[in-house]
Amino acid sequence: MVGMGSMMAGMMRSPFTGMVFLLELTHDLNALPALMIGCVSSLAVTVLLMRRSILTEKLARRGHHITREYRVDLFELMRVSEVMDKHPPLISANVTVGELSNRLAFGDSALSRRQGTLLVDEDNNLAGIVTRGDLLRALQRDPSGKARLLEAGSTNLVIAYADESLHDAIARMIKNNIGRLPVVSRENPGHVLGYLGRSSVMLARSRHLEEEELREKSELADLLPVRLWRQS
């Protein structure tokens, strides 16, 4: 009876339903501890091995998008430190707009791969951030490019911490309508630890999808000999 309740709880992904169903049949409260362990264990196994429950599998195969599934958010599991650029290019806040523009125009590999560049002061502490859009607007105001980067960029920074979840950092990006965050130390917010951009987030998501695809192919390859043996 415990096995039957556990099977029901796992297939329907509803452990409470399985426990109540068996208690109604047996009226034996002594079986509750074993029933609870069996139903929760069955749920854990099915959540890990099956992408969907038996109640939604046919709907998903017909092309309907199922949103209410027991899935773990990838961005909740990952930390900012796992996807950030740990060696971002830093440039002095006293450099002029013209100097940085020339370095970008001539293809400086360290700077041209990012839309934003972190600015530091004389003590190498975070002072601000300047984007290519900031440079363009600064050159439109002053074509000579003599303005300092700190004047052209932003000093009111939205930051991230290396030990926080990637989900929280992305939520902060969306809330503030920005595409990049300086990653700093909690003990010393001026100490730069990294740079988190949208490309880093997309790369993490892409890597997870590739791993899922390889895992599914591996599972199919393991099941194929069994199916062929049964057919023979």
Using DSSP's 3-state secondary structure scheme, residue 106 falls into coil
List of residues 6+ apart from 168 with CB closer than 8 A: 160
Tell me the CA distances in angstroms from 151 to 42, 79, 96, 114, one per residue in order.
Answer: 60, 33, 9, 20
Residue 76 confidence (pLDDT): 77
What pTM was computed for the model?
0.60
Render pLDDT for 88-135 as a digit per residue (tens, 0 to 9): 889 999 999 999 988 888 877 777 778 889 999 988 999 999 998 999
Residue 67 confidence (pLDDT): 52
CATH H superfamily, domain 76-204:
CBS-domain (3.10.580.10)
Confidence of residue 63 (pLDDT cuts 50, 70, 90): low
Tell me the CA distances in angstroms from 160 to 74, 156, 178, 183, one per residue in order.
Answer: 18, 13, 12, 5
* Alpha-carbon span 71 to 229, nearest angstrom: 33
Render pLDDT for 86-98 as a digit per residue (tens, 0 to 9): 988 899 999 999 9
Confidence of residue 226 (pLDDT cuts 50, 70, 90): very low
Residue 58 in tokens: 């046919």
Residue 51 in tokens: 């992408």
Residue 120 confidence (pLDDT): 93
Percent of the chain at pLDDT exceeding 70: 80
Average pLDDT, the chain: 81
Residues of the chain with CATH 3.10.580.10: 76-204
Residue 160 confidence (pLDDT): 93
Could you tell me which residue, 7 or 175, shows the higher pLDDT?
Answer: 175
